[in-house]
Structure 1
Amino acid sequence: MKTLTLLRHAKSGWDDTVARDFDRPLNGKGKRAAEAVGKHWRSLGLVFDHVVASPAVRVGETIAHLQTGYGTDLAPVVDRRIYLASAMTLLDVIHGLPESADRVLMVGHNPGLEDLVLMLVPDDTADDGLRDTVEEKFPTASTAEMTFDGAWADVAANGATLTRFIRPRDLDPALGPDQD
């Protein structure tokens, strides 16, 4: 069985005067959320044998703050295709994952990550409403975990089971929307 964990980058700073979207850094709330998610992952005992990430500044900063809470270096492989990718492009990345990796973390952006979950997890799944929650919104610094039978190259629409969806506000209400 393969496990794919998706992490949307933490909240970035729109007030920063960077010339390109690619260069936007995290804001204070984003830094706190990434660290809280890392601490939560550590408490759950989550482990990854392969990490792939967008090269965007906010993704790199998310990983750095996540590692502070998680307590382990994730050593991501940067893949330019993940930056602002569609669900189909992300699926191409998944198809190329090393078969030796059973637990993969992908760190990227919306709407691609949300669309990917909705494409891979069947509508009529019995997942205690997790898919519906993803469909409402996949907030920054949220985690979605899916499992698959078979090889990465065989991952297809409606072929996943959504096993976990964690939003920062589930860990600390102060990390929810409209909180600074």
Structure 2
Amino acid sequence: MKTLTLLRHAKSGWDDPVARDFDRPLNPKGRRAALAMGRHLRDLGLGFDRVLASPAVRVTETVAEVEKGLGRALSPAWDRRLYLASAATLLDAVHEASPDAASLLLVGHNPGLEELAMLLVPDTAGGLRDAVEEKYPTATLAEITFEIDDWSAVAAGQGVLTRFVRPRDVDPALGPDAS
């Protein structure tokens, strides 16, 4: 069995005058959300054998805040291909993961992460997939399991969405109506 966890970067600051989208940092709410998600990962006892992440500033800052909440380093491999990656590119990265890793965390951007989750999980009525389809907010994680031995076998419609956690599920103050 393999477990793939997808984590979207936390809320970034559009007010920050940076020259490139790549350099956009988190805003204060994003920092709080990433820290809360890290604490939630710790409380769930989740760990990852391998972490791949986009090197964009908002992702590196998300990882740093998650690590604070988690209480340990994630030590990601920073992969430039994951910056604003499509579902197909993300799936390529998953297929390349070492079969020794039972759990893989991808930290990146939408719409690619949402599209990957939608691709990997069968379209059945109700349940968590509907929540993903409705909206995949910033700092949200989706956990998908596969009955396979090698990451190269991950295929469309073969995953089971076992968890979909938004920051507001962890702390209601992090919901869309809070600042």
- Name the TM-score, length of structure 1 as normaliser: 0.97
**Shift in Å at residue 79 of structure 1?**
0.8
Letter in 1 for 2:171: D
**Shift in Å at residue 176 of structure 1?**
1.1
Match of 1:147 in 2: 145
Match of 2:39 in 1: 39
State the Cα RMSD in Å.
0.9
Aligned to 1:136, which of 126, 134, 137?
134
Match of 2:123 in 1: 123
**Shift in Å at residue 33 of structure 1?**
0.2
Match of 2:25 in 1: 25
1:140 aligns to what SS in structure 2? coil
What is the number of residues matched between the two proteins? Answer: 178
Is 1:175 the counterpart of 2:168? The answer is: no
For residues 5-61 of structure 1, the C-alpha deviation after alignment (integer angstroms, 9 at most, x for no partner) is 000000000000000000000000000000000001100000111000001000000
Give, in whole Å, the separation in 2 of the partners of 1:91 and 1:152.
10
1:46 aligns to what SS in structure 2? coil
Match of 1:97 in 2: 97
Give, in whole Å, the separation in 1 of the partners of 2:115 and 2:93.
15
Structure 2: 5+ residue stretches without partners: none
- Between the two proteins, what is the percent identity of the paired residues? 66
Match of 1:158 in 2: 157
Give, in whole Å, the separation in 1 of the partners of 2:100 and 2:79.
18
Matching of residues 75-86 of structure 1 within 5 Å: 75-86=75-86
Give, in whole Å, the separation in 2 of the partners of 1:174 and 1:81.
33
Matching of residues 44-83 of structure 1 within 5 Å: 44-83=44-83
Is 1:7 the counterpart of 2:20? The answer is: no
For residues 117-159 of structure 1, the C-alpha deviation after alignment (integer angstroms, 9 at most, x for no partner) is 000000127xx61000000000000010000122100111001
Letter in 2 for 1:55: P
Give, in whole Å, the separation in 2 of the partners of 1:178 and 1:31.
17
- Name the TM-score, length of structure 2 as normaliser: 0.97
Which aligned segments of 4 or more residues in structure 1 are displaced greater than 6 angstroms?
none
